[in-house]
Amino acid sequence: MYFRIYVIGLFLAVSLAATAQQRVEYGYDRAGNRITRQVVTIATQKSAEFNEPEEPVEQEFGQRTIRVYPNPTRGNLSIDVQGGSNDEVYRYMLFDMQGKQLLGAERRGNGNTPVEMGACPAGYYILIINTADGKIEYKIVKE
């Protein structure tokens, strides 16, 4: 009987651990011996600000304005270049944290360029955009 209750309790503890954060607290006597062990569940709530889309990262770079959004992303990323010459070519490259280039392409002129990150696993990435004025780097978070 006690074994069955223990197994059910263990199953519930593992189920809760998958959805909530936990920590273990210990109680000690005056001699320093551990006498109690208690698992404490920490309730986590997402605030409303996490549900709202983030503002795009916008930077003035030479004559142009470059916006990269959304960051963090769950799928595709957008690079929006405005204000540069229509004949200018810029190149973007996406790297993982080990330095391996995952994506890269060239684009001519102003406009919006989608970056297909749907196949990339969740994690951190570096986006490098090369223009005639130099290069600019962005840290991208894929959720």
Q: What domains are defined for the chain? A: 2-42 (no CATH), 54-142 (2.60.40.2550)
Give the strands of the sheet with 57-61, arranged side by side: 57-61, 64-69, 77-82, 111-115
Residue-level pLDDT at 15? 52
pLDDT at 84: 79
Burial 109-132 (b: 16+ CB within 10 A, else e): ebeeeebebeebeeeebbbebebe
Residue 77, token pair as written in the block: 């990323």
Question: What does DSSP assign to residue 74?
Answer: S
pLDDT along the chain (143 residues), means of 10: 47 51 80 82 54 62 85 91 85 94 91 90 93 88 91
Helical (H) or strand (E) element with 23: strand 21-28
Please give the pLDDT value at position 28.
81
Specify the pLDDT at position 62: 74
Q: Please tell me the predicted confidence (pLDDT) of residue 68.
A: 92
